[in-house]
Amino acid sequence: MAELMAEKKQARTAMTTGDMVVWIPGFVDLQVNGYRGVDFSSQSLTEASFATACHGLFAAGTFAFLPTVITSSMATYRHVLPLIARAMRRPEFQGRVLGIHLEGPFISKERGAVGCHNPEHAQLPSIEMLETLCSLAENNIKVLTMAAELDGAEKVIAKASSSGIVVALGHQLAGADMIAKAEAAGAVLLTHLGNGIPNMLHRHHNPLMAGIASNLGASIITDGYHLPPSTIKVILRAKKGQPVIVVSDAAPVAGLAPGKHECFGKTVIVEHGDRGGRVLDAGGENLAGSGATMLQCINYLTSLGVVSPDDVLQLAYSTPLALLGLNSSDLAAPVPGKDPVLNYSTSRGYWLQPPGE
C-alpha cells in the first residue's frame, strides 16, 4: 500500500496540463487478446508471432501488458500457455510481458454472457483444472476471470486468490448475493464491467447494477464502442475509492485493415474507425473484442472530459501495476532510440514521439 501511495503522489506531481513528455514510459494493459492478426488463444501461435505482436504493441504505446487467453480447448491451452511462459523468459519481454490473464474457462455458457467465447469450452470451476492451467503456464497466471454464479466458484476463487492470482468476475449472470460471496472468497475485480452480459436484462436485478453497487474494483473498455459515455461516467463515479483500470481488450484483429478477418475461431468484421474500428461478429450484432490500443482507448476517455491527466496515470499505469503487486520499479527501463516516447498535449491528447526523434 505504501508503494501505491508513493506512485500516486509521484503521478500527481509529475504532470501538468501543458504540452510535455509524460513521466510514464507507456500504458499498462491487463487484457490483450492479440494484435495485428496474432491470436494469443490459437494453436497457430508461435514464439515468433507472439514476439511480433508484443513489439507491435510496444510501438503503439503499450509499455507492459498481460497476454489474455480466452476460453479454449485443452489442446489450445497445452499449446499457448507453455509457449507464452517460455517467451516471457526472453530478456526483451522481462518487465514488459507481466504474466497471463486467463479469461475463462470458468464462465457462463449463456448467450450474451459468454460473449465471443466458445460455449463448448466453458466449464464449471474446478481446482484440479485451475492447477493444471497454472502448471502449463509455469505459474505465470496473474489474473483469472470467471463467473461468480457457477457451482464451485467460491472454492476456486479462494484457491486462486491464496495462490496470488487476481480474481476478477466477468462473463457472468451473477446477482448481488453471488457477487458478495465471490468477494468474500477473494475476488477483487470486475472484468470489463458493462460488457460480457446479455443485451436484455431485468431493469434492476442484473449483473451490471450488482457489479456497480459492489465493493469490487472494475476494468472498463473505453474504445468508444463497448460503453457509452453515460455508463463510463456512472462507473467512474460509483467506483471512487475502489481500483478502476482501463483495458483495451484488443482483439487479434486490432491494427488490421477494415474488412472480414478470422478471429477467435470465427469470422469477424473490422469496421472503419479513427480510433480503431469496431470489431463485430459476422452477423454484425455483437462485439468481438476491441479494435483499439490502450493509446486510443485513453484518448477517447480523455475526450469525454471526465478524467484529469492524473486520473489517466492511475487508470492506465499505477493501478494496473498495483493490482499485480507491482510498481514502476518492476518494469523494464525504456530503451532510448527503440521505444517511443509518450507525450501529452491539451490540444492533441496523448501521442507518441517515434524512437530517436
Give the DSSP H/E element, type plus range, for residue 160: helix 153-162
| pLDDT of 1 higher than 80 | no
Strand partners, 259: 270
Distance CA 202, CA 192 (A): 19
CA distance 129 to 306: 41
At 199, the pLDDT band (50, 70, 90 cuts) reads: confident
Q: Which three cell numbers stand for residue 183?
A: 468477494
Place of cell 470467471: 146
Q: Which helix (H) or strand (E) holds 143?
A: strand 141-146
Q: Which three cell numbers stand for residue 166?
A: 487476481
Say which of 29, 249, 281, 330 is annotated catalytic.
Answer: 249
Within 10 A of 260 (CB to CB), how many other CB atoms are there? 11
Mean pLDDT of the 294-311 span: 96
Query: Residue 95: is it exposed, middle or buried by C-beta count within 10 angstroms (0-12/13-18/19+)?
Result: middle
What gap in Å lies between CA 322 and CA 290, rounded to an integer?
24
Flag whether pLDDT at 2 surpasses 50: no
Lay out the sheet containing 279-281: strands in order across.
259-263, 266-270, 279-281
pLDDT digits (tens, 9 = 90+) for 268-288: 999 988 778 899 888 767 888
Reported as a single tens digit per residue, the pLDDT across 307-332 is 999 999 999 999 999 999 999 999 99
> CA angle 284-122-78, nearest 5°?
105
Task: Say how far apart CA 214 and CA 177 lie, in whole Å.
Answer: 10
**Among candidate residues 284, 229, 54, 249, the one with its CA nearest the CA of residue 170:** 249
Active site annotation includes 249 = yes
Overall pTM surpassing 0.85 (yes/no) = yes
